[in-house]
Structure 1
Amino acid sequence: MPRPPSLPTALDALDRAFASEGPFPVTGCLYCYGEQGLAQLSGPLRHISDDLVSSVAAETPGHWGDFPRLYRRLVPRIIRPVVTGLFGIDEELVASRLVQAGWTTWDAPLTEALRDVWDAWWQTTLRTHPGPVPIRTALAVVTVATGGLSSWLDTWTGIRTTAADARLAGLVDDVLFESEFTDLSMGFYDEYHATAELVEWLLTDVRDRVADARPDALYRIEAFQTGARHGE
């Protein structure tokens, strides 16, 4: 499998792909955004304030006359700060909103550009430690956005670097806190249940790296798996 483009390259390509999403008359909740806010959202993308972009990124779909179209147009302004750790809202909420906006049904150039960003971001995250976004958050975003966890774990298996192992230690420390991995969900709305896949992965060939990261991790994970098999 070819290595994805670098994250800066993928983000620049995302900007170009979504440049086709031009201004349109935005309608929505006047109480929350007022005529001025709607007018700004209806104008050039570069003139929309960062605060307004953040607000729209987090807002519920029912606030807008055409939520999918508005979210699609704002994708370059939303995704870049998310993957660089500069957004002021919950990154997992952005993933949930993208799913609600039906991003996988958009025109192919748009979906392909966004998928390239997910791939590039995940590779960059695994190869960088420390990084601007916590590993569990990054994993949750790509998992919820794409509707699957296993491919991202497979990529992790194949990257055997000091940074990737340090990221693994961070994830293990996080999910083992108060045995949270026994009921681990991802997404702002806990829409993706990850326990079974994650436990299975942690007990594959990656187990030696887990043991190095957290000596007691394998015992606790294996105990959970044994209990689950016996219905405990």
Structure 2
Amino acid sequence: MTALDALDRAFAAEEPFPVGGCTYCYGEEGLAELSRPLHLIPDDLVSAAAGEVPSHWDDFPRLYRRLVPRIIRPLVAGLFPVSEELVATRLVEASWGTWDAPLADALHTLWTAWWQATLRTHPGPVSIRDTLGLITVATDSLRPWLDVWTATRTPAADAHLTALLDDVLFEHEIADLRLGFHGEYHATAELVEWLLTDVRDRVTDSRLDDPHFATIAALAPRPNH
């Protein structure tokens, strides 16, 4: 909650502006509503804009910056009707990491706080797969978040570990595990190596003992950073 409040304060400097874009989906009325002060934009319009393709808007990065507080707060509470991985993809397309330092720093802080809180609470409002997928794609980095998980030795963190395994091992998805709405982050190699080394003693799952499992990481492509 502290990180969310700080996020609100950082983004409060983003003032309303005349939003332009394709009028086929929303019409002039919809664009006018998106041009209003942030708290006056209807929830359904925020969620619609959060998932819309960037080419729909005249200035997509600026619009997304304005909407961030209205997107992120309900999202981390599990109350946002747009998938976490789609939001991550849209944030990357909006080049959030290049925004002014107070804005980018507030989001970085939020990712860290959200991840730490997630690993200490089970069950959480957002699945561990979706949480990890969002912060991985948004930051183009998986290993730092896995390292935090390794260092968090709590019953909740172990319960999330079991849940993630059940998810990614179903129908052997882990052999080609891609995160992000467009599958832009290939997570297989890093995740398999982590499972077989850093947290192997915390997992009771015979599927990890399959000798073929260890070869997955060696064959999987690695993300380009």
User: Which of 91, 112, 120 does residue 113 from structure 2 map onto?
Assistant: 120
Q: What secondary structure, in the 3-state scheme, does the structure 2 residue paired with 1:10 have?
A: helix
Structure 1 counterpart SS, 2:212: helix
Does 1:77 find its partner at 2:70?
A: yes
**Contact between 1:96 and 1:144, CA under 8 Å: does it hold in 2?**
yes
Shift in Å, 1:145 = 0.2
Go from structure 1 to structure 2 and tell me whether the alpha carbon gap of 1:171 and 1:230 turns closer, same or farther (over 3 Å shift).
closer
Does structure 2 retain, via aligned residues, the 8 Å contact 1:96–1:187? yes
Pick one of 91, 105, 109 that aligns with 2:102.
Answer: 109
Verify: 1:61 aligned to 2:50, yes or no: no
Match 2:137 to one of 144, 159, 162:
144
Query: How far 1:228 sits from its partner (Å)?
Result: 6.0
Task: Indicate the residue corresponding to 2:186 in structure 1.
Answer: 193
Partner of 2:207: 217
1:226 aligns with 2:219: no
Are the structure 2 counterparts of residues 230 and 174 from structure 1 closer, same or farther at C-alpha, using a change threshold of 3 Å? closer
1:196 Cα deviation from its structure 2 partner = 0.2
Contact 2:193 2:217 in 1 (8 A): no
Q: Secondary structure at 2:203's aligned position in 1?
A: helix
Q: Give percent identity, aligned residues only.
A: 68
Runs of at least 5 residues in structure 2 that lack an aligned partner in the other structure? 221-225
Could you say if the C-alpha distance between residues 229 and 119 of structure 1 is closer, same or farther in structure 2, counting changes exceeding 3 Å?
A: closer
Q: Is 1:50 the equivalent of 2:39?
A: no
Alpha carbons 1:81, 1:87 under 8 Å: kept: yes
Aligned partners of 1:129 and 1:166 also within 8 Å: yes
In 1, Cα distance between the equivalents of 2:219 and 2:85?
33
Q: Among 62, 85, 92, which residue is 1:99 paired with?
A: 92
Taking structure 1 as the reference length, the TM-score comes to 0.92
State which of 159, 164, 168 in structure 2 corresponds to 1:175.
168
Deviations 1:123-180 (A, max 9, x none): 1111100111010010000000000000000000000000000000000010110111
Runs of 4+ in 1 over 3 A off after TM superposition: 226-231
Over 3 Å counting, the alpha-carbon distance change for 1:103 and 1:227 in structure 2 is closer
Are the counterparts in 2 of residues 210 and 217 from structure 1 also a CA contact under 8 Å?
A: no
Q: CA offsets per residue over residues 63-86 of structure 1, 9 Å max, x none? A: 100000000010000111111100
Q: Residues 8-65 of structure 1: CA distance to partner in whole angstroms, max 9, x if unpaired? A: 0000000000000000010011111111111111111110000000000000001100
Equivalenced residue count is: 220
The answer for the alignment partner of 1:4 in structure 2 is: none
The alpha-carbon deviation at position 217 of structure 1 amounts to 3.0
User: For residue 223 of structure 2, what is the aligned residue in structure 1?
Assistant: none
Q: Is this contact kept in 2: 1:58–1:94, CA < 8 A?
A: yes
Match of 1:26 in 2: 19
- How far apart are 1:224 and its partner, in Å? 2.1
